Chains A and B, each alone.
Chain A
Amino acid sequence: MNNKRVLAALAASAAGLLLSACGGGGGDAGSGPVSLTVWTGFTGGDRPGYEQIVKDFTAAHPDIKVTMTVQPWDTIQQKLPSAWLTGQGPDIAAPSSDPNAIAQYVKTNSVLALTATGAGDDKINTDQFAPALVKEFTYNDKLYAVPANYATLSLYYNKKLFAAAGIGKPPATVAELQQDAAKLTTGGRYGLVLADNNTIQMWPVLQWLSGGDIVGADNCSVLSTPAGVASLQPWVDLVKNRKISPVGLTGAEADSIFSAGKAAMEINGPWAAPGYKSAGIDLGIATVPAGASGQPVTLGSTAPLAVSAKTKHPAQAQQFLAYWTSRTAQLKFSLSTGFPPLRTDLAGDAQLKADPTVSVFAGQVPNAKLYLPQVPNATQVDTDAYVPLIQKITRDGDVAGGTAAAAKQIDELTGCGK
């Protein structure tokens, strides 16, 4: 063959490859079972619970084959936007557990508006979800995702360290939490270990407990208001002066400190319990103490499960979401993972109430608040303003100065007042 022929053959095979690659995003369209692919980032101790949902769905629906790929969240975050835009990637994905994560995909028309809602097992029972979750995934009156899970945060405590400090029970009020955190900081151990980056958010819980918040209903920052400053000051003092926690920890680092018995308390979600138990911690799990106002409050966290706008099987994909969020699947999932059910009709379930772990997390669902719900540029508010603020004030102690600068930055990001 001469050079031109070689080139022509190469060009033809390259074109073939490109065309076959472009035909992805949904598996086969011919006879036989429909194939659905799912990407999620559930790499933690709760992973078997999700895998069981997939297994049970496939067993109950022989005409639909679901393959779930579990990969780190940041990997999904990098690949999914362009994959979905070009018709590649999975039929269904949990894009990220970041606040307001689905907004980006709605903006780029990459996600399918879910229409298979209503009553019955084969429909997505949105009327049974916690209202805050439906609101979080609704844009322009259309629902774009279902919650893949709904976790609340509880107070984990090390009973052995509590006993050694002569403290008989976990704190019930924010004042007791602060006193205990200081008292338990002794002998190279930390009273309340706090992560501030790459973590489930712990600092907003502390702020809410002490009567403050990050962003108000109009998307304007309330960090630098007197209430905002007052909600951070006592915690900053405890971290900076009383050393109740190291600064700058990631979630994984904070967890390992608690697992090693070097911290007496940590605010964390249900996924952490198996690891702490296997690390041999004499573990207690209590509800987060009541806030300064006397009202209990904690963080609610959810990961969205959404369908590609370019899937070839929108009906089957929604059928899968309906099953994932169904009463049967959620009951089994909660019992195996300790997560509270994302459905309100399971709140009174006797089996869940009898489970010591689930009952603590589930009991806090009515008091749970989402982090930066539907706030524009929420991810950037977190990475560029809130996380740096916490890292700064826990080092230099200048809460008033730090919050003023962060509030200005947040207002620019959220378009406050526009």
Chain B
Amino acid sequence: MGPSLLILGVFVLWPIVRSLWYSLHDWTVGAAEQPWAGLGNYTKLLGDEQFRRALANTLIITAASTAVLVAVGLGLALALTSENVVTRVIRSAFFFPTVISLTTVGMVWRFLLDPDIGLVGGVTNALGLGAVNWLQSTALALPTVIFVNVWKNAGFVMIVLVAGLKAIPGEYYEAAALDGARRAQLLRYVTLPALRPTLLFVTFIVTIQSLQLFDLVYVMTGGGPLFHTDTLVTKLYRDGFVNYRTGYAAATSWVLFIVVVLVSALQLRIFRYNDAD
């Protein structure tokens, strides 16, 4: 108990308290004076157009990624639950991107989508559609990042849901079938209610992952074009580590923390977690 509390205290609790302290100062790493700012950094964030855009982008990425991931993951899981060689191969194929690092995924897709040298541009050119500059278009960059985020994580969601589906006792289906339930009714009244804890778990995981999205954006677009894919984490990285505005970056991280708490609370409510069992 003691050592784990010590480790938790030094590496988790203390940095959290410090970051709150930083956020209340006009803190610059190493400066001789760290002037007290009170809530100044937080009020400054409200008027910061880059922050508002980053917050909006983060919420859009999270909402879109989570909705599409759960829908696609559930569809794949339902289609691929049975055990045979074909489903195993397809499941492996979908799961493969999950084991690659986000940085690698970002770099690969950046090359694929390059309008001059990328495979996607080559295909669209061959079809006479012309090469689209996916990552430099202010309209397309964000949907493209969301697509790659979904591509990367769909396999993970599918595997977890397949495990959840397999854990549903067969007797439920037999009993429902005896009562004359059809396929759609089985899904609606047996599968989905029984899968609720698993759905809650994957939704939680992908939501928090999406809220903290950094590597993919950093590698693919750097937050551009014109901050159209900038997220709260890429912004706080830029403030903290490029421009050395530690206090301001800490304030951004606290706003992100509050967003994560609120979104998580909302999810618990939507899934009616208390009566999930």
Binding site for B on A (CB under 8 A): 3, 7, 10, 77-78, 81-82, 84-85, 104, 107-110, 197-198, 246-248, 250, 253, 256-257, 260, 262, 377, 379-380, 383-384, 388, 391-392, 395
**Complex Cα gap A109–B28 (Å):** 12
Q: Are B222 and A110 in contact (CB under 8 A)?
A: no
Q: Which residue of B lies closest to A96 (CB)?
A: B242
Q: Which residues of B contact A248 (CB under 8 A)?
A: 133, 135-136, 224-225
Q: Are B133 and A260 in contact (CB under 8 A)?
A: no
Q: Are A391 and B29 in contact (CB under 8 A)?
A: no
B2 at the interface (CB under 8 A from A): yes
Q: Are B226 and A108 in contact (CB under 8 A)?
A: no
A77-B242, A85-B29, A395-B226 known; 14 new pairs, CB 8 Å cut-off, are: A81-B29, A85-B30, A108-B30, A197-B222, A246-B133, A248-B225, A260-B117, A262-B116, A379-B242, A379-B243, A380-B243, A383-B243, A384-B50, A388-B226
Q: Are B30 and A82 in contact (CB under 8 A)?
A: yes
Contacting residues of chain B (103-156) with chain A, CB-CB under 8 angstroms: 114-117, 133, 135-136, 138
Q: Are A256 and B117 in contact (CB under 8 A)?
A: yes
Q: Which residues of B contact A77 (CB under 8 A)?
A: 241-242
Decide: A246 near B136, CB < 8 A? Known: A82-B30, A256-B117, A260-B116. yes
Q: Which residues of B contact A395 (CB under 8 A)?
A: 138, 225-226
Q: List 19 A-B contacts (CB under 8 A).
A: A7-B2, A77-B241, A77-B242, A81-B30, A82-B29, A82-B30, A85-B29, A108-B29, A108-B30, A109-B32, A246-B133, A247-B133, A247-B136, A257-B116, A260-B116, A384-B243, A391-B224, A395-B138, A395-B226
Number of A-B contacts (CB under 8 A): 67
Separation in Å of the A13 CB from the closest CB of chain B? 12
Q: Which residue of A lies closest to B50 (CB)?
A: A384
B227 at the interface (CB under 8 A from A): yes
Q: Main SS of the interface on chain A?
A: helix
Q: Which residues of B contact A108 (CB under 8 A)?
A: 28-32
Q: Which residues of A contact B114 (CB under 8 A)?
A: 253
Q: Which residue of B lies closest to A257 (CB)?
A: B116
Decide: A383 near B225, CB < 8 A? Known: A10-B3, A82-B30, A246-B136. no
Separation in Å of the A112 CB from the closest CB of chain B? 15
Separation in Å of the A97 CB from the closest CB of chain B? 13
Q: Are A383 and B238 in contact (CB under 8 A)?
A: yes
Q: Which residue of B lies closest to A390 (CB)?
A: B226
Interface string of B219-252 (1 = CB under 8 A from A): 0001011110000000000100111100000000
Q: Are A391 and B28 in contact (CB under 8 A)?
A: no
Q: Which of B2, B138, B224, B241 contacts A3 (CB 8 A)?
A: B2
Q: Which residues of B contact A107 (CB under 8 A)?
A: 28, 30-31
Q: Which of A3, A84, A392 contacts B226 (CB 8 A)?
A: A392
Q: Which of B30, B133, B227, B242 contacts A388 (CB 8 A)?
A: B227
Q: Which residues of B contact A81 (CB under 8 A)?
A: 29-30, 244
Q: Which residues of B contact A198 (CB under 8 A)?
A: 222
Q: Which residue of B lies closest to A81 (CB)?
A: B29
Q: Which residues of B contact A197 (CB under 8 A)?
A: 222, 224
Separation in Å of the A40 CB from the closest CB of chain B? 19
Q: Which residue of B lies closest to A377 (CB)?
A: B243
**Complex Cα gap A250–B221 (Å):** 10
Q: Which residues of A contact B244 (CB under 8 A)?
A: 81, 104
Separation in Å of the B115 CB from the closest CB of chain A? 7
Interface string of B1-12 (1 = CB under 8 A from A): 011000000000
Shortest Cβ-Cβ A-B pairs, 6 listed: A108-B30, A248-B136, A85-B30, A248-B225, A380-B243, A81-B29
**Complex Cα gap A81–B226 (Å):** 28
Q: Which residues of A contact B32 (CB under 8 A)?
A: 108-109
Separation in Å of the A378 CB from the closest CB of chain B? 10
**Complex Cα gap A412–B224 (Å):** 23
Q: Are B115 and A246 in contact (CB under 8 A)?
A: yes
**Complex Cα gap A246–B118 (Å):** 15
Q: Which residues of B contact A246 (CB under 8 A)?
A: 115-116, 133, 136
**Complex Cα gap A79–B114 (Å):** 31
Separation in Å of the B248 CB from the closest CB of chain A? 11
**Complex Cα gap A81–B242 (Å):** 11
Q: Are B241 and A78 in contact (CB under 8 A)?
A: yes
Q: Are A391 and B225 in contact (CB under 8 A)?
A: yes
